Structure 1
Amino acid sequence: MNWRGGLAGVVRRVGRRVDALVRRARRSHPMAFAAILAMTVVLAVASLSWESYFPASALIIPLLLGGLLLRFKQLLVLTLFTLTVSSFVVMSRPAALPKTGFVLVLGVIGWIVITNAKVRNQLGVPGNRGESMLMELRDTLTAQSELPEIPVGWRLEVAIRSAGASKFSGDFVVSTTHEQVLEVALVDVSGKGIDAGTRALLLSGAFGGLLGVVPAQEFLPSANRYIRRQDWDDDFATVVHVAVDLQTGDFDVRTAGHPPAILFDAWAGRWQTRESDGPLLGLMEAPEFAVNRGQLKLGDALFLYSDGMVETPRRDIGRGTDRLAGHAERLVGQGFLGGADELVKNAGGPGDDSAIVIIHRLAHG
């Protein structure tokens, strides 16, 4: 047991050292270039000296590492150098061994690596920094949806699922609390998955900056002006925005081309659709957005959701809303705890981004 634990510790230390070296190599491309060239030379010498232990195919390793770490020009030099060295190594082998085929395969691999690096070079992100940037953008979009702290007696839940299991979604949530007022906006950007992810990232930062800064009645007009300034051709966004007084439970709901909010009335045991008219954001210069006012009493819950939760090619929004309310009815007994994740999983459409927000005023504060 101790031997296994010691081996595991060694593996972890080696892994940390390798990870640290890779991070340093990403930051210092000349150092990585020199190290990979040196590796190529070492593998070539080893392959010439100990043919049985170091096959010539080991020269593929530095080429693949170069594709991950080097800039385009450095990778081009490395590819030519590796092809030259590998040709010399292979030609030094006995005549019975195949030679031309290996060099051709290595050349094809080099061409693939260079082609991928050329695309990344056009973006100015050498190596695998492009993938790292995408992960950072994804994390930024996820962080924008983090929920604020709310007083005891209230529960706020959100769940988002992207189409096709992608980590990017055209649906996002921004929220804030100020002066005992909770503001939440659920936004659905045109498109889905990765296609809408970049626009969602842009809008999440802008809308998050507007929320709580401008008056609640000015949020949607301000958001519309921002989208209009982007001068997008055919892109738009739908939004449902709610402002809740956390002391009295009074709320205002406004929508911009978005499915209406649903209110669960705990006293009557009924579900109410809170309609509020408003056009899509980005299509009109100075639209007007109607408001629907109400109050969350003890036990009541307000549901905000995207069209991916209720609309499919074979089902309109009205029928989808009834279906969503039916799923939510089963969660009443558990006080809607964990309801957002469960509803997205069971009611969300698989072919579209799905998101839901639940604002619940607990029956026993």
Structure 2
Amino acid sequence: MGSHWSAASRARALASATRLWRGSLSQPLLTWALVLLTVVASVAVVTTGNWVPVSVLILIELLGAFLLRLRGMVVLCSVIAAECVGMVVARSEAFNPGEMLVQGVSIVALLAFAFHREQLGLQGAPGGLMLVDLRDRLAAHGRIPRLPAPWRVDSALRAAYAEAFSGDFVVASTAERGTLLEVAVVDVSGKGQAAGVRSLLLSGSFGGLLGAMPPEEFLPAANDYLLAQDWDEGFATAIHVSVDLSTGEYWIVSAGHPPAVQLHAGSGRLDIIDSIGAPALGVVSDLRCVPVTGRLLPGDTLMLYTDGVIEVPGHDVEMGIDRLMGAAERMLSTGRGGAEAVLAAVRASEGDDRALVLVHRDQS
């Protein structure tokens, strides 16, 4: 476990925080406690000269934004606005227009922040824990099951502009008593936070479908699910690979996704697997996928990725694939690194989500 919590531990922490919020911490009590604190601060500003600055009220506003819901923030900010007017009347010579302007801007900004959190349903301090839990659940869906030797799966996932949520995700499962590995890499339309909610929903649904049905039915079922959502921007590309861990034979289908690449250990050659045979998910009602088969020999690697890894503005996709293959050859053939090293070597644009998965069959 190290320094990372398990999903169960995070869920217990979130539940405990929510119980604390609903139980011992009363919103009216917190609101009036902060109002009383502003009264004390305002009196100190008026009576102590320059020892207590009027900006101390901003600290109370920030505390309120962290602890209070929208109604409590409206009450708190209204009281602070009235107190500022009263302080100006009581000691007009001690205040300058700039201080009052900063107070006004801070009140408007924090009320807008509280309103936005209210719309999202993130009420009070535990709201942040909920976002963390959702992000970690999205990452957990892509956790690769434990595989028997000599098989390994290495993956790297980066969101656009280093945001917390990504429109790319990976789901994986093992079936047939652990002898069949299934991995799906999905690229949801949009990027970063704009696609994060859709990724979370789809990763949970696709993760439930994967391994629960024959491999040839997975992408059609995923397509039907996506069409049923009726989203305005509701398409996604996907590639699905099934690997027989006893023989190394694999089966690939794709829906509008960039082609997989196989590194042959014996010759060092990299081959593009022409697996693009169907439109993206969520576009047509009757999705027909054409499978491509092959075999991973000892030392071979199968590489799956999203278009953010290969697309460069103003350049052809083929050039991006060539750049990826060159990076993979340098890193994988020489044993200098895995998925993270390949992704770093490609130097893809930070403006798009990127996912890379390597399925290795080590030398016996």
TM-score tier by shorter-chain length is 0.7 to 0.9
Q: Which amino acid aligns with 2:312?
A: T
Q: Which amino acid aligns with 1:187?
A: V
- Deviations 1:22-49 (Å, cap 9, x if unpaired)? 9956854233213212322332343344
Residues 1:206 and 2:234 are matched in the alignment:
no
Alignment partner, residue 341 of structure 1: 340
Q: Which amino acid aligns with 1:88?
A: G
Q: Which amino acid aligns with 1:258?
A: H
Residues 1:313 and 2:310 are matched in the alignment:
no
Q: Which amino acid aligns with 1:106?
A: Q
- Deviations 1:138-192 (Å, cap 9, x if unpaired)? 2222222222111121111000122222222111100111221111000011122
Q: Output the CA distance in 2 between the equivalents of 1:176 and 1:33.
A: 49
Alignment partner, residue 144 of structure 1: 141
Residues 1:115 and 2:112 are matched in the alignment:
yes
Residues 1:60 and 2:58 are matched in the alignment:
yes
Alignment partner, residue 161 of structure 1: 158
User: Could you say what the CA RMSD is over the residues aligned between the two structures, in angstroms?
Assistant: 2.6
Alignment partner, residue 251 of structure 2: 252
Shift, 1:246, TM fit:
1.2
SS of residue matched to 1:273: strand
Q: Output the CA distance in 2 between the equivalents of 1:233 and 1:53.
A: 56
What 5-or-longer segments of structure 2 have no aligned partner?
1-15
SS of residue matched to 2:32: helix
Shift, 1:278, TM fit:
1.9
Shift, 1:348, TM fit:
4.7
Q: Which amino acid aligns with 2:188?
A: V
- Deviations 1:241-279 (Å, cap 9, x if unpaired)? 001111111111111111111111222332222222222
Shift, 1:197, TM fit:
1.6
Q: Output the CA distance in 1 between the equivalents of 2:54 and 2:313.
A: 56
TM-score by length of 1: 0.85
Question: Is residue 25–residue 32 contact of structure 1 (8 Å, CA) maintained in 2?
Answer: no
Question: Is residue 25–residue 31 contact of structure 1 (8 Å, CA) maintained in 2?
Answer: no
Question: Is residue 21–residue 126 contact of structure 2 (8 Å, CA) maintained in 1?
Answer: no
Q: Output the CA distance in 1 between the equivalents of 2:289 and 2:107.
A: 57
Q: Which amino acid aligns with 1:268?
A: S
Q: Which amino acid aligns with 2:218?
A: F
What is the percentage of aligned positions where both structures have the same residue?
Answer: 44
What 5-or-longer segments of structure 1 have no aligned partner?
1-19
Alignment partner, residue 42 of structure 1: 40
Question: Is residue 172–residue 181 contact of structure 2 (8 Å, CA) maintained in 1?
Answer: yes
Q: Which amino acid aligns with 2:354?
A: S
Q: Output the CA distance in 2 between the equivalents of 1:250 and 1:96.
A: 83
Residues 193-272 of structure 1 aligned to structure 2 (within 5 Å): 193-272=192-271
Q: Structure 1 residues 186, 348: closer, same or farther in 2, change over 3 A?
A: farther
Question: Is residue 309–residue 324 contact of structure 1 (8 Å, CA) maintained in 2?
Answer: yes
Q: Which amino acid aligns with 2:316?
A: D
SS of residue matched to 1:359: strand
Q: Output the CA distance in 2 between the equivalents of 1:105 and 1:23.
A: 36
Q: Structure 1 residues 332, 79: closer, same or farther in 2, change over 3 A?
A: closer
Of 145-154 and 305-314, the range deviating more from structure 2? 305-314
Alignment partner, residue 330 of structure 1: 330
TM-score by length of 2: 0.85
Shift, 1:234, TM fit:
4.1
Q: Structure 1 residues 65, 297: closer, same or farther in 2, change over 3 A?
A: same
Question: Is residue 226–residue 234 contact of structure 2 (8 Å, CA) maintained in 1?
Answer: no
The number of residues matched between the two structures is: 343
Q: Output the CA distance in 1 between the equivalents of 2:105 and 2:268.
A: 68
Q: Structure 1 residues 42, 310: closer, same or farther in 2, change over 3 A?
A: same
Q: Structure 1 residues 21, 173: closer, same or farther in 2, change over 3 A?
A: closer
Of 32, 39, 47, 2:30 maps to 32
Shift, 1:69, TM fit:
1.7
Residues 1:171 and 2:168 are matched in the alignment:
yes
Shift, 1:204, TM fit:
0.6
Q: Output the CA distance in 2 between the equivalents of 1:321 and 1:71.
A: 49
Of 55-64 and 284-293, the range deviating more from structure 2? 55-64
Bigger Rg, which one? 1
Q: Structure 1 residues 123, 310: closer, same or farther in 2, change over 3 A?
A: closer
Residues 87-106 of structure 1 aligned to structure 2 (within 5 Å): 87-93=85-91, 96-98=93-95, 102-103=99-100, 105-106=102-103
Q: Output the CA distance in 1 between the equivalents of 2:28 and 2:250.
A: 59
Q: Structure 1 residues 28, 243: closer, same or farther in 2, change over 3 A?
A: farther
Question: Is residue 243–residue 251 contact of structure 2 (8 Å, CA) maintained in 1?
Answer: yes
